[in-house]
Amino acid sequence: MGKPLIVVLGAGLGGTIASYEIKAALKDRADVMTVSDSDTYSFIPSNPWVAVRWREPEAIQVHLPPVFAKKKIGFTSVGAKRLHAGEKRLELNDGSSINYDYLVISTGPELAFDEIEGLGPHGGHTVSICQTAHASAAADAFDAFAQNPGPIVVGAVQGASCYGPAYEFAMILDTELRKRKIRDKVPMIYVTPEPYIGHLGLDGVGDTKSLLESELRDRHIKWITNARVTSVEPGVMHVEEVGEDGAVKKTHDLPFGFSMMLPAFRGVPAVSNIEGLTNPRGFIIVDKHQRNPTWPDIFALGVCIAIPPTGPTPVPVGVPKTGFMIESMVSAISANLKQILDGREPTFEASWNAICLADFGDGGVAFMAQPQIPPRNVNWSASGRWVHTAKVAFEGYFLHKVRSGQAEPLYEKLALDLIGAHKVRRS
């Protein structure tokens, strides 16, 4: 009887480090195979910098095949066409299949631009920072915009679940426009489904409401909350502002010369609409051990998993999954697979703490929620120039981790140490 095969589906932030850590935890007791649709890893948190040319795409990317080969982890960039959970088989885009013993799903999301007419970079009228290629195209669009400046609309649409990058990009745009000495020619408005500024899909963390309202106000960025984007046409975004009772209280036709709106997410087609595996949006259902209750040989982590919202809101607002939280899911899955191979039931749980560094180019906001969903043991936020320095440091740390195939989970520890040091400096 051969060694069990563990297949990791996805090689983004979660899938790449999951492959490293699972291999390190199990060593020669199992084979690990990673299936991706690209042989390039991109550090997605740096995409807002790419979109204003503070980074070139190549600076935040890693060519994966040599690293995986060095770590003796199988790798293919053919991509997955369809999961056949009942057969424990992953069908690939080239017609071949992989039969697995255990599957770890870390695909990230499909970007649901098509749910709003005119949204997105593919035939739509707004740019995106969700993928590095999108951010690079956005940089070209921003350079063209700077030659003929006008209004900017930035934010997120209904159902979005990752608000930190939207706030980051709004502030980064403000910083870059001031550097180019054209900020006075650019009215800016922030559009979001959140019920209030700083909600973040988490019902706020610490004083994020006041901190982010103050940042927007100081930078002369107006905002619309409880916003539902109905359609986008060239140079105009149509938005409904919804009241607490769910009724439309005002409509806005917002002109723009440049716009970036984060879309809603859904599960990728390869794993969607499998009974017992996914919810109606295609996100993977997991228990507290990151394991699917219906298919116990399947684990999942990261943006592709189902997390219920923190509470009802007039406009749908999703819950984010931060990089720190994802790394804790990776560690839990690695430990649980080791227990399973030892003939035991899995007992490890992810911490699900939300720790975020939102960089604004000349400062930023940091927050920590432990656990992510209220009520919390820790509910902290702070702002200052140190956040920008910290974000640059984390970029370097994480890219080193991916390039070297490092398995040790240090992301959350370093963040806690950094924030702890900031608290000491202020006391």
Q: Which of 312, 258, 302 is nearest to 137 (CA)?
A: 258
Q: How far is CA 40 from CA 44, 58, 98, 180, 304, in A?
A: 12, 10, 21, 32, 19
Give the helix/strand (H/E) hosting 138.
helix 132-147
Burial class of residue 301 (count of CB atoms within 10 Å of its CB; 0-12, 13-18, 19+): buried
What's the CA gap between 163 and 115, in Å, rounded? Answer: 18
Structure tokens given for 64: 């994966």
CA distance 71 to 237: 48
The catalytically annotated residue of 33, 162, 188, 298 is: 162
Q: Which helix (H) or strand (E) holds 32?
A: strand 31-35
In the DSSP assignment, the letter for residue 293 is S
Q: Is 130 tagged catalytic?
A: no
Which of 188, 337, 356, 402 is flagged as catalytic?
356
And the tokens for 160?
Answer: 């979005």
The two three-digit tokens of residue 404, written as one number = 């070297």
Report the C-alpha gap between 370 and 356 in whole angstroms. Answer: 12
399-405 long-range CB contacts below 8 Å, 24 or more apart? 399/43, 399/60, 399/62, 401/17, 402/16, 402/17, 402/41, 402/43, 402/62, 402/67, 403/62, 403/67, 404/67, 405/20, 405/67, 405/68, 405/70, 405/71
Active site residue 304: no
| Structure tokens belonging to residue 392 | 């640059």
Residues with Cβ within 8 Å of 275's Cβ and at least 6 positions away in sequence, in order, are 294
Of 12, 9, 13, give the one whose Cα is nearest residue 32: 9
Catalytic residue numbers, as ranges = 162, 356
